Structure 1
């Protein structure tokens, strides 16, 4: 169960984040981020992002409960968390510090490190 907690927690968080981004962007984005979403293309992009988040979050939950998928789910978690935190770090350097997203960056870095640690700690799940 310990090796699955990373996948379970990050899966739930990413599913919730996806629902926030795409569930009702015209209402939620102004409420949470003081950002107006009026253009059809932006709504479409946010809902597509929601679909990505839902899909990957479900895959991580699936990997937590099916040991044959654990390695692939954990590897994708590490790549996702590493990639998204890298993007936020680049944005911090070029755009400045985002107060609302700094806690997200910290969590993403923690999940990245935790997933990397799990990959090293449980080599018996390594896929060939």
Structure 2
């Protein structure tokens, strides 16, 4: 497994627990983690859709790690995903103020993963030992 493949797999695996926390029981997890009450079907619907998006992208990144022809697109989508989340969080910091510490940790992860993804996009891909 080369660096790009490992990065895609590692990031996908790391995103799955966040996706599940948002979508499996959003009324419980969001209130206990962030003091955000989800009291109706619409709130659950929104966060389960977010879970679906996170899981779909995680699956694509795994497929991209395993399929050379999709690797570039998977890495590009990872960069766009992380940059988009980070941009939204930075906007919220400017407009809304300081959030929960875990959300600042997410921001740091999103910035670092977006930058790392950009750096990997700029590097030539080294062959993996299996030749995939």
Normalised by the length of structure 2, the TM-score is: 0.88
Structure-2 residue corresponding to 1:42:
43
Structure-2 residue corresponding to 1:2:
3
- The correspondence for 1:117, drawn from 115, 119, 122, is 119
Deviation string, structure 1 residues 58-116 (Cα, Å, up to 9, x no partner): 10111111111100000000100111101100000011121220010001001001110
- The Cα RMSD (Å) is 1.4
Return 5+ residue gaps in structure 1 as ranges.
none
Structure-2 residue corresponding to 1:79:
80
Pair 1:23-2:24 in alignment: yes
Partners of 1:79 and 1:39 in 2: CA distance: 31
The runs of at least 4 aligned residues of structure 1 exceeding 4 Å deviation read none
Partners of 1:92 and 1:30 in 2: CA distance: 20
Return 5+ residue gaps in structure 2 as ranges.
127-132
Normalised by the length of structure 1, the TM-score is: 0.91
User: Contact 2:4 / 2:125 at 8 angstroms: preserved in 1?
Assistant: no
Partners of 1:15 and 1:71 in 2: CA distance: 21
Q: CA deviation at 1:36?
A: 1.4
